[in-house]
Amino acid sequence: MEDKRLSAAVLLISLFMAGVLCSQNAVWAQTGCVTGTAVEDMKLVSPGSGWALAGHRLYWTSDNGQNWDDITPGNGQQLVSKAFFLDKNTGWAIFSGSDDAGASITVASTLNGGKSWQSALVDLDSVVQGRRVGGVASMYFAGTQQGWLILHLSSSSNFSIGAALHTEDGGLTWAALSPPPAAGNIVFLTSQNGWMAGGPAGDQLWFTRDGGRSWQPAEIPAPVECAGSGPAYSLPEFSGTRDGRLTATTVNPGGNCVIDYGTTDGGQSWQT
């Protein structure tokens, strides 16, 4: 099964790298097309099936990227800024009037692969406390009900200021959480255990054990041969709730040292 998933993922990625997404006929063309646009985000969610976000429109393929259907919510009249699919049926998309800079966003959810969507308006006034919303930094769902949004609030480049929201009903209603340590990317293994990577330089790592209500900095020692400044962490990638991988980079006098960590206990401990 893993080999099939890997092969499908490699094929889909190669199609993305080789071509452009043609919104006119929803076909991925390796030779290019006049109406094409760059891919902003994408993910394979099952063998042969995945989604792509391009030109603020959401597309779906069921044949390894040979053909694409436009599944943008709101009759295609909205600008989608983020998407997340749990599987080939269950997904969410975020859109607003122009650039996510208003006092509200809309979270649309689907249970049938984008054939129909249910939308919920999320008021942000009480969350952002007067700051301008620069965009949605990250969205993640750990199951069909529990989900999180991290908003990026306007600030200078020396800071990464975020706001966090949580849903327990599949995105129909959202409640504010305590401010996160940064407007970073997130991944949750369960409704309680999650990770965030980000910061002003994009190199910090935090974890939560209470569903995002509080975050602690991760302290993962580097091997002696990679001792140096840093490390700069990537967001961990997990398969299930226990097995995961993490990459970190340290800067040494002789150059950078890339460290690959693995965990079999959900990130409680990491080994090289």
Smallest CA-to-CA distance from 214 within 193, 235, 198 is with 193
Q: Are 226 and 208 in contact (CB under 8 A)?
A: no
Smallest CA-to-CA distance from 234 within 200, 271, 268, 260 is with 260
Q: Are 175 and 221 in contact (CB under 8 A)?
A: no
Instruction: Specify the pLDDT at position 155.
Output: 74
Smallest CA-to-CA distance from 27 within 71, 64, 57, 68 is with 68
Q: How far is residue 198's CA from residue 162's CA, in Å, rounded to a whole number?
A: 10
Strands laid side by side in the 91-96 sheet: 79-85, 91-96, 104-110, 118-123
Long-range pairs for 235-238: beta carbons < 8 A, 24 or more residues apart: 235/184, 235/185, 235/186, 235/187, 235/195, 235/196, 235/197, 235/205, 236/187, 236/195, 236/197, 236/205, 236/263, 236/267, 237/187, 238/187, 238/189, 238/266, 238/267
Smallest CA-to-CA distance from 106 within 123, 90, 85, 120 is with 120
Q: Are 115 and 126 in contact (CB under 8 A)?
A: no
Handedness of CA 115, 77, 81, 117 (dihedral sign): negative
Report the chain's mean pLDDT, rounded to a whole number: 83
Instruction: Specify the pLDDT at position 96.
Output: 65
Q: How far is residue 98's CA from residue 80's CA, in Å, rounded to a whole number?
A: 9
Torsion of CA 182, 183, 185, 191, to 10 degrees: 80
Q: How many helices (H) and strands (E) does the chain have?
A: 2, 23
Q: How far is residue 50's CA from residue 61's CA, in Å, rounded to a whole number?
A: 6
- Residues of the chain short of pLDDT 70, as ranges, are 1-36, 76, 96-102
Cβ contacts of 222 within 8 Å, gap of 6 or more: 228, 230, 231, 248, 250, 257, 259
pTM: 0.83
Long-range pairs for 10-19: beta carbons < 8 A, 24 or more residues apart: 11/64, 11/65, 12/42, 12/44, 12/50, 12/61, 12/64, 12/65, 15/64, 15/65, 15/66, 16/42, 16/52, 16/65
Q: How far is residue 66's CA from residue 42's CA, in Å, rounded to a whole number?
A: 15
